[in-house]
């Protein structure tokens, strides 16, 4: 049975639980801690959009998105180590893309991936993201171009 996935805004009811989310041991060096992403979102509150990822009312992950400079991006994305290998990542990534398209009329979605994180590059490639020529501070920017239906 496929779980009902949804993005929920971070608020006073769920932020502490969100702070306890953890990346897997193999990806911890590539994923910013949630506390860092929430602090960054607070500083850049006008363009940042942090969400908890829920599957059937259970928090399973976190994502921070940005619309700065009219450049929709998925900045930090993680599924908690306890919920890996269940398909939540793919479903949640699609929800993020849908959100950016619906709320901000995104025609292109970008995301930074550490050059050494081959697993993430493969994951995002399966969703249609392509590597760009843009590499900054060890991060490859991948892009998904949205085709209008």
Q: How many domains does the chain have?
A: 1
In a domain, 140, yes or no: no
Distance CA 20, CA 13 (A): 14
Residue 114 lies in a domain: no
Split the chain (149 residues) into runs of 10 and give each run's mean pLDDT: 85 91 70 86 90 95 92 93 91 96 94 93 96 92 88
Does residue 130 lie in a domain region? no
pTM, full prediction: 0.90
**Domain containing 28: what range?**
5-106
Per-residue model confidence (pLDDT) at position 27: 61
Domain-embedded: residue 12: yes
Indicate which CATH number applies to the domain containing 51. 3.40.630.30
């Amino acid at each position: 049975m496929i779980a009902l996935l949804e993005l929920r805004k971070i608020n006073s009811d769920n932020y502490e639980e969100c702070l306890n989310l953890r990346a897997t041991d193999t990806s911890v060096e590539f994923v910013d801690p949630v506390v860092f992403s929430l602090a960054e979102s607070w500083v850049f509150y006008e363009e940042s959009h942090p969400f908890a990822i829920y599957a059937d009312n259970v928090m399973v992950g976190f994502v921070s998105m940005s619309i700065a400079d009219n450049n929709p991006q998925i900045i930090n994305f993680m599924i908690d180590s306890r919920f890996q290998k269940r398909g939540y990542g793919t479903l949640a990534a699609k929800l993020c893309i849908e959100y950016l398209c619906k709320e901000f009329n995104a025609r292109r979605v970008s995301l930074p991936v550490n050059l050494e994180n081959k697993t993430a590059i493969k994951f995002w490639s399966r969703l249609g993201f392509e590597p760009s020529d843009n590499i900054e501070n060890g991060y490859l920017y991948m892009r998904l171009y949205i085709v209008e239906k």
